[in-house]
Structure 1
């Protein structure tokens, strides 16, 4: 029998974004004890309605939403952004997977948020990173799996590539984000000022 506390207990994570990569990152952190507060838009995370739905909620959401608290805020409204900033004032980690530039457009970019809470680890997940020639291209897992060559090596010779029954691009990105966040938290504990950093996962 395992006893004692889990390694991330006492840490607060604010999860912004939707669908897979950001929410799966939050799920991983919650597994190990972090308090994860998921911020959903008024219509809810779209994954609530994906694929098999039971009692009005998809099985995917039941998997990705477990072990989390959930609040509804409209980041397109001034009041919603004010409330998110208040949540971030008491957080250790922010996870976001919006298109590059969206958080800055809302006044929630790293410079703004970390000026209020320098200890925050600010984790960003996107298709091609926050900068560079492909930053603004769609970052869906299916696109990045093809771009990276993963689709090419799957399936039968002479036939169309096969999509695996999992969004591999999203889940691999989430694993790297969770690792980056954990390393940033460890580094934060070793610095004199206890400052967090930005984790950028493509």
Structure 2
């Protein structure tokens, strides 16, 4: 991989200072970096971002994903010298990202209001558990807490078991994604006015935004959504069904699609049967219908069932894991996975850049910085025009 400062991406020329740690702030930086922005990550000199050590397996590699396209500068934000250097860099930046507890920047003499006096076009993305205002704003808040308060955790799992987690840090990444969206909107506003602004992205609100009609249903009729395992109430058929060699997901709840599924099952009359002919009727007999489909799918292998679903035009799919993704031709054709050279791990595979832009494609231009502060001299020279090291 050949590194280049000019990316050709949609955000080429945009400079970002990232102060965040762990997931939410750094994921926001990853998204902006993939789109071409230059990301300078400020890390504590001794320890760096804890994400350097996160992941699973003998060689955790999450850092390689979340820190790609970034430059590491070691800065002790608790010291006057570090705060001074941070202010100098922020004065040259378009966007500042942080995900500390509200009030932390102010305590470090980095109040966004003061920073914007020096740099009026500065956009500050602030990601936190509960937002910058309100009675809970000063509380510590991780992604799981946001998922619980936003309603996600309460509906994931089975009704006879405690709430389950998603399996990935969805609260953090949602809040980061909304922070990125806010930054892009703020850049558009700045292009017209020259003025920056604050983007306040709360973990619980990011989760709340994707909770569909849970609040509205309760407001309108007193209905509370409950944990229902692998199904959605009254949406049928839409479930994971057993095959001889595993499980397979079928989503055929729309009337026309259900008719095609019934034909593939050799039971075309199901589409005309008053018990199953409409969305409401199928929803009322969800368990009964799932049992009929499961009895049919259990007679086939996944490959046999998939061939039938493709031929019938029924939305359906295998349950993929990482090994399946690496072997799949569609992933390869769309470059959904990319290869990044790594000095320690060799070539490493990871998710590509999304969404795909036709005129200004995003890219992975450089691997994650292996050591804390490795890019300090380079960044200080290019951004500040001076020789020196980190602070």
Alignment partner, residue 47 of structure 1: 51
Alignment partner, residue 5 of structure 1: 8
Q: Which residue of the other structure, out of 117, 120, 123, is the alignment partner of 1:121?
A: 123
CA distance in 2, matches of 1:76, 1:53: 33
TM-score, length of structure 1 as denominator length: 0.93
> Is 1:156 equivalent to 2:154 in the alignment?
no
For residues 181-200 of structure 1, the aligned pairs below 5 Å read 181-191=183-193, 194-200=194-200
Q: Give unmatched runs, 5+ long, in structure 1.
A: none
Q: Secondary structure at the match of 2:113?
A: helix
Large movers: runs of 4+ above 2 Å: 51-55
> Is 1:33 equivalent to 2:33 in the alignment?
no
CA distance in 1, matches of 2:42, 2:54: 18
For residues 29-178 of structure 1, the aligned pairs below 5 Å read 29-42=32-45, 43-52=47-56, 58-178=60-180
Q: Deviations over 1:9-32 (max 9, x none)?
A: 000000001000000000000011
- What displacement does 1:53 show? 6.1
Q: Deviations over 1:166-197 (max 9, x none)?
A: 11110000110000000000000011xx1111
How many residues in Structure 1 have an aligned counterpart in Structure 2?
195
Instruction: Name which of structure 1's ranges 90-99 and 58-67 shifts more when overlaid on structure 2.
Output: 58-67
- What displacement does 1:52 show? 2.5
Give the greater-gyration-radius structure (CA). Answer: 2
Q: Secondary structure at the match of 2:153?
A: coil
CA distance in 1, matches of 2:106, 2:57: 34
CA distance in 1, matches of 2:184, 2:90: 18
Alignment partner, residue 206 of structure 2: none
CA distance in 1, matches of 2:189, 2:80: 34
TM-score, length of structure 2 as denominator length: 0.49
Cα distance change of structure 1 residues 54 and 79 upon mapping to structure 2, 3 Å threshold: farther
Q: Secondary structure at the match of 2:16?
A: strand
CA distance in 2, matches of 1:51, 1:163: 17
CA distance in 2, matches of 1:35, 1:96: 16
CA distance in 2, matches of 1:53, 1:123: 32
CA distance in 2, matches of 1:124, 1:150: 22
CA distance in 2, matches of 1:148, 1:111: 29
Q: Secondary structure at the match of 1:113?
A: helix
Alignment partner, residue 23 of structure 2: 20
